[in-house]
Structure 1
């Protein structure tokens, strides 16, 4: 029986994570929204500088705190809960942008399900928006950092194939259900 039911879907910005998580939610699963987008929403509403295009370090520290709160509120789940990114994403960003060695701290202490699902860079669906202002090259570089960060923490990395959203959801659920046996 699988002990940790908190599953991270991470990977390239603009790789279809939010659409995939909406499909999993439509199928009845609990989904935790991306901490970074929630930080941006709050910062834009409150006039805070914790925006990646204003103060990346402040943004990442706020994102790390929000991801940690999400983890603590859901880490003992009995059913699958899917996270749009996690603590490792923010810690990896802080390590890259601010030189903070957080992969050995919160990212190592708060463990998710052993399998991390990654959306690969997918230029055909990548778009910028009011909250995602970086280009595809920056998103691809972020993906490469996340592969290294999650791998360094001993997670099993599984790239989600470029399929229609229902096929992507089926792929994830099939792998998770196979692990239960």
Structure 2
């Protein structure tokens, strides 16, 4: 049973390195409220503290830390103003599936019951802008798999998944804002 729908909360999802964070940063510079992706922060914290909740060491622990951070960001978000999320908490379910790790019924039910706006924006694979770094170690093929998983997941959860065009950031933002 749906318990909460946050109509002003919009998810931007997709594979890693496909321009999500650049979009979020640009929207923030334009004055929109934004929520940063938790994964990078968790990786940085774990590296600094010699923790093992890292995607290349303990995927389950990493996923649980993301779930906690992302669900808290969702529950504490202001519902009165448009807010853009660099990934939503359901992305963690997609991550677990990609890693062939179990997804609890409680996680699925939580994702069904606690909703963002029905429009979820997805960044498709775009090799021209993809790059790896110390925190993004996935290959382009893995990034494509992530895109497929996120598109399937949000569709399964009943969202309308809107694919962003492969155009410059300003045009992507214009596309997003015209589809709110």
More helix by share: 1
TM-score, L = length of structure 2: 0.92
Cα distance change of structure 1 residues 35 and 3 upon mapping to structure 2, 3 Å threshold: closer
Q: Is this contact kept in 2: 1:87–1:106, CA < 8 A?
A: no
Superposed CA RMSD in Å reads 1.5
TM-score by length of 1: 0.91
Deviates more, 1:10-19 or 1:100-109: 100-109
| Separation (CA, whole Å) in 2 of partners of 1:35 and 1:73 | 15
Question: How far apart are the structure 2 equivalents of 1:108 and 1:62?
Answer: 20
Name 2:140's counterpart in structure 1: 136
In structure 2, runs of 5+ residues without a counterpart are none
Structure 1 residues 3, 94: closer, same or farther in 2, change over 3 A? Answer: closer
Deviation string 1:5-30 (CA, Å, 9 cap, x unpaired) is 01000011100011111111111001
Between the two proteins, the alignment pairs up a number of residues equal to 174
Partner Cα separation in structure 2 for residue 26 and residue 81 of structure 1: 13
Give the alignment of 1:1-181 within 5 angstroms.
Answer: 4-74=7-77, 76-97=78-99, 98-102=101-105, 104-176=108-180
Gaps of 5+ in 1: 177-181
Instruction: Name the SS for the 2:120 alignment partner.
Output: strand
Q: Is the 1:61–1:94 contact (alpha carbons within 8 Å) kept by the matching residues of 2? A: no
Deviations 1:83-108 (A, max 9, x none): 00011100221234212245522222
- Flag as ranges the 4+ runs of structure 1 deviating above 6 A: none
Q: Secondary structure at the match of 2:179?
A: helix
Q: Secondary structure at the match of 2:162?
A: strand
User: For the residues of structure 2 that align with 1:138 and 1:117, how far apart are their CA atoms?
Assistant: 20
CA displacement at 1:38 relative to structure 2? 1.6
Q: Helix, strand or coil: the match of 1:10?
A: strand
